[in-house]
Structure 1
Amino acid sequence: MSLAVSDELLGTFVPIIVYWLYSGFYILLGSFEKYRLHTTKEEDVKNLVSKSDVVKGVLLQQTIQAAVAIILFKVTGSGDTAAQDVQPNFVVLLRQFLIAMLVLDTWQYFMHRYMHHNKFLYRHIHSQHHRLVVPYAFGALYNHPLEGLLLDTTGGALSFLLSGISPRVSIFFFSFATIKTVDDHCGLWLPGNLFHVLFRNNTAYHDVHHQLYGNKYNFSQPFFVMWDRILGTYMPYTLEKRVDGGFEARPTRDYKVE
């Protein structure tokens, strides 16, 4: 009796498992005040939603995400044996990865920006995510269910379809995207974090967006900052040490708060 699990099931559920495992890693590190962008007290006082509600919201989004992934794999026939027999080389895989990253970034930038500028969508949908004024790791996917479907799940589906990645490759791509998204919301500036070295779009960059002064800036997520730079929504900042420990991302010049 074979116990093999299909690539489609792995592609559906591995990123969800990775989300909670990687978030758990940051929960263990959360008490290290000297690496935090906000103090533990600020996290408790400034946030407008309980952690239990955040967990429920994330689980709901992941349930919808899993359902869409299963349907997508079924409809596209990505699990056909003939398709699995084709083994792309490294150059092809790299190209597919980059295309998937660019598609995901492009979709999320424009949808994310529109949800900020459309007052109805912001008030009734996107503001739910911004109840986390002080982001933390397992709150990365805390969104209104409609936003989760439109922004994250649809963006993921488009990156899968337009890049041509296989279900097997999607396991790695969506796990990587999940880790990056969790890292962007972790609220910690850890020494040696490769995401901070390799990506300008990182924990501090996204923390700026979650503050009142950055509400109309730094929309790009999760990988690059190109759309913010091209379209004038990039907010440069400096990372400064706080007297009481930890760090703070501060804008390098005054910006209009809308």
Structure 2
Amino acid sequence: MANMTSVSGLPPLPTYELRPMPDLLPSFISDFWLSIIAPHIAYWAVSMFFHFIDIFDLFPQYRLHTPDEIAQRNLVSRWHCFRDVILEQIIQIGTSCVLNLTESQQMIGREDYDVAVWATRIRLAQRALPAILGALGLNAASISKNMAASHPLLAGALAGGHYPFLTIQLDGVSGGQVPAFAMWELMVAKAIYWVVIPAFQVWVALAFMDTWQYFWHRAMHVNKWMYTHWHARHHRLYVPYAYGALYNHPVEGFILDTLGAALAYKASFMTPRMGMYYFVFSMMKTVDDHCGYALPWDPLQHITSNNAAYHDIHHQSWGIKTNFSQPFFTIWDRWLNTRWEGDAKLKYERTRATAAAKKVSAAINGKANGTPNGKANGTPNGKANGTPTGKAKLRQSSSRQSSRTQR
């Protein structure tokens, strides 16, 4: 591409040539498909990590709930939870394919040009310094002249971005000299281009996602129809575990998670490569928020105060009308006074004690009836009256619990 020549004493901008960005794993998979499956690989990798900890009870001191609570309080089996998560991930994969088709191929090659553009803006901004200093009663020209020998770069900035001693040779044939950028201008420009702008894009995506999820999530608790038909399914997990993070009604999952993440990505104007990292991070954070552990060495639980312990309160019957914020910050709960402020520790102790007492009672009753593990009347696993594995009873209990927690 043609170069912009020096205008009004400004350094010229470099030439550039665009080329497609190489795939992250060119020998294995294209970025198109990697960006689609990577979030789900992350989902199951983190989920299986916590599942391994859970089944082998490796860190019982950091559990939010005991195994007895998981067995007694949840109103959905692990198999049905797994099945619904797979369904939602299929929907997400389809949506990701459509989203990727709307993106043009990411190109590289103009990074130095863009940095130079920012350096030019910094140079132009310096032209306002003499006027600003003059408004404060300072003579910028005099100060610059006095500092020229000892601090030439500072003197040049105070003079309005005038650096006559900074030049480069335009080409080896003509030998012409053109203005050049100061080192500090290029360093600041690189920081803006490589750090500030990407950080701002990430912040926009996180803020958008949090706002989207907070108000939709809260609406699904306020509106009885949406709660009963959609959101109540997620609250069958009174004791969340990692791979149950995406256990939702398909409509809720699409609106709250899939569509919310896609719109956040678009609103932030991320590149496709940045978007892939963002989706992977979001998925890992969502799983971690449902892991059921307060691990002191888990970095995802210390980025913000919105972590597994915070979100777990929302899954309890006594905290279901609070802690709507997810998955990153708690600012909307704080601003709108929906943050849990009670003594959660005492309530957790009561639920643990209740679960333990029920287990002891069930064991005593089973022994008294000569039916180990609660099996009675030749009906293993609680099968009775034509209701295998107690499914009819489970559905009835789930309906009553959903209605009660909504009230």
Q: TM-score, normalised by structure 1?
A: 0.88
Which of 55, 58, 75 is the matching residue for 2:82? 55
Q: Per the alignment, do residues 187 and 6 of structure 1 end up closer, same or farther by CA in structure 2, a change over 3 Å counting?
A: same
Matched, 1:35 2:32: no
Matched, 1:182 2:287: yes
Q: Which residue of 2 is the match for residue 117 of structure 1?
A: 222
Q: Which residue of 1 is the match for residue 37 of structure 2?
A: 13
Query: Mind listing any 5+ residue stretches in structure 1 that lack a counterpart?
Result: 247-256
Q: Over residues 56-96 of structure 1, what are the superposed CA-to-partner deviations in whole Å (9 max), with x where a residue is unaligned?
A: 11111011001001101112x24x244x5565522221111
Q: Per the alignment, do residues 3 and 221 of structure 1 end up closer, same or farther by CA in structure 2, a change over 3 Å counting?
A: same
CA apart distance, 1:9: 1.6
Q: Per the alignment, do residues 129 and 197 of structure 1 end up closer, same or farther by CA in structure 2, a change over 3 Å counting?
A: same
Q: State which drifts further: 120-129 or 166-175.
A: 166-175
Amino acid across the alignment from 1:184 = D
Distance (whole Å) between structure 1 residues aligned to residue 253 and residue 216 of structure 2: 11
Determine if contact 1:181/1:222 at 8 Å carries over to the other structure: yes
Q: Per the alignment, do residues 142 and 122 of structure 1 end up closer, same or farther by CA in structure 2, a change over 3 Å counting?
A: same
Determine if contact 1:33/1:40 at 8 Å carries over to the other structure: no
Distance (whole Å) between structure 2 residues aligned to residue 58 and residue 86 of structure 1: 41
Amino acid across the alignment from 1:100 = A
Amino acid across the alignment from 2:261 = G
Query: Mind listing any 5+ residue stretches in structure 2 that lack a counterpart?
Result: 1-25, 112-192, 353-405
User: In the comparison of the two structures, how many residue pairs are matched?
Assistant: 244
Q: Over residues 214-255 of structure 1, what are the superposed CA-to-partner deviations in whole Å (9 max), with x where a residue is unaligned?
A: 1111000000000111111111356749879x9xxxxxxxxx
Distance (whole Å) between structure 1 residues aligned to residue 275 and residue 315 of structure 2: 29
Determine if contact 2:201/2:269 at 8 Å carries over to the other structure: yes
Matched, 1:95 2:95: no
Aligned-residue RMSD, C-alpha? 2.2
Q: Which residue of 2 is the match for residue 215 of structure 1?
A: 320
Which of 61, 72, 79 is the matching residue for 1:45? 72
Determine if contact 1:219/1:233 at 8 Å carries over to the other structure: yes
Task: Tell me the SS of whatever aligns to 1:130.
Answer: helix
Determine if contact 1:23/1:137 at 8 Å carries over to the other structure: yes
Task: Tell me the SS of whatever aligns to 1:8.
Answer: helix
Q: Which residue of 1 is the match for residue 386 of structure 2?
A: none
Q: Over residues 129-161 of structure 1, what are the superposed CA-to-partner deviations in whole Å (9 max), with x where a residue is unaligned?
A: 000000000000000000111100010111110
Which of 311, 323, 330 is the matching residue for 1:206? 311
CA apart distance, 1:4: 5.4
Q: TM-score, normalised by structure 2?
A: 0.57
